[in-house]
Each structure stands twice: as structure tokens, then as C-alpha cells.
Amino acid sequence: MAKGIFIALEGGEATGKTTTAKVVKERLEALGYEVVVTREPGGIPSAEAIRENIMNFPVDARTELLLYLSARREHLVSKVIPALEAGKIVITDRFYISSLVYQGYARGIGIDTVRELNDFVCNGVYPDLNIIIDIPVEVSMERKQGVDDINRLDLEGYEFHKKVEEAYRMIHAEGKDNTLMLDGTKDMDTMIDEVFSVVKGKIDRA
């Protein structure tokens, strides 16, 4: 490939994005592709440090957004862009659509405002495809029961996570963001098979 392929996995909490990314990477590597799996916020040490602030300390909604954007910019220029320029496949657990959903809609800052700020941060580098794994908020909250890895966003109430669910569906329906929505209530093996098929198809068409 002359250029890499950039895939973002999106969705609410407990959708299985992390596990899916790991298995899809293994399958693609078995076919001879070079694959980078990363996450937001995080992916590099400086962005992981910002993640610690976001996840562990209560901050103002606008501060939260700016922290996410700072982490995204560093992650993009230090890890994502170099991998894409090297012709690799990059799969990220969350990218800019998460900011549209969580800060733009659920926090009430405004999707258009967050979109404009992301345009500044991303400077034209966006995923070739955003795969949204859709699950009802009730399923999401049930899956989080008894899980040890809980952060500040996980502890938000039902209404917040309902807004997250609504926003993902709304953004997908608007059709502006190159999204594909998959049913996340299916068993994990089926979900992974579907995501792999979509990603492999995108690579084959590139």
C-alpha cells in the first residue's frame, strides 16, 4: 500500500472495542499486514499522562475537551501519522467522534463547536472508516457491573450514557462522518468476525 489505512472503533462503554482491535490485529498480521493498535486518549506516553488526568480527576467540561484534544494531537503526530506514512494499518480504540459524542452532545458543549476544534487538531487526518459498535445503554451498564477497571466516565449516570447512545446513532444517521454501525449485542466472536470482514474489505479496496 502506498498509504496506510486508518480505522477507528467507536461506541459507548463495554462494547468490546479493545478485545476486537486485538484479535483483528492478530488476524491481519497472520495475513502479512503491519498493524498498529492504539487508543485514545493515550497511545503514547505524553497522551497517557493526559489520560490519567482525564480519568481520575473531576474537571470542567471544557477543560475535559481541551485535554482530549491535546492528547489527540500528540497521538496523531507522534504515532498515527508516521504509521500511516509507513503504509501500516492503524486501528484506534476511539478517535474524534468520541469527542463529538461525549463532550459535544452528552456534556452539552455543542457538536458543531467540537467538530470545529477537531478540524484544527486533526488538520485533515481522519479515519478512512469509523466503525460504531452500537449497544443499548442498559446493556452497557449491565456489562460494567463487577468490572474492576472503572474510570470517572464509567461512573456517570444513566442519563449521561443514554445521551452517548443517542449521539452515536444521530451522528451515524446524519452521514457526515464516514461511519458504519454494527450491532454490538451479538456474541463477541460474531462481532469480531464482522469487524474483521469490514476492515479487510476496506484494505482490499484501497
Three-class secondary structure of residue 131 per DSSP: strand
DSSP state of 76: I
Answer positive or negative: Cα dihedral of 71, 72, 78, 80. Answer: positive
Residue 4 is assigned to a ligand binding site? no
Q: Is 17 annotated as a binding residue?
A: yes
Could you tell me how far CA 68 lies from the centroid of its own chain? 12
Dist. CA 40–CA 61, nearest whole Å? 17
CA atoms of 103 and 99, how far apart (whole Å): 5
Question: Does 12 count as an annotated binding residue?
Answer: yes
Strand partners, 10: 132
Does 11 appear as a known binding residue? yes
The label of the residue with cell 464509567 reads: 154
Q: Which amino acid is at 186?
A: K
Note whether 140 and 92 are within 8 A (CB).
no
64 known member of a binding site: no
Q: Is 38 annotated as a binding residue?
A: no
| Cell numbers found for residue 63 | 477543560
Q: Say whether 18 counts as a known binding-site residue.
A: yes
Q: How far is CA 118 from the centre of its chain?
A: 14
Alpha-helical regions (H) of 76-110:
81-85, 96-99
**Residues placed in the known binding site:** 11-18
**Residues placed in the known binding site for ATP:** 11-18
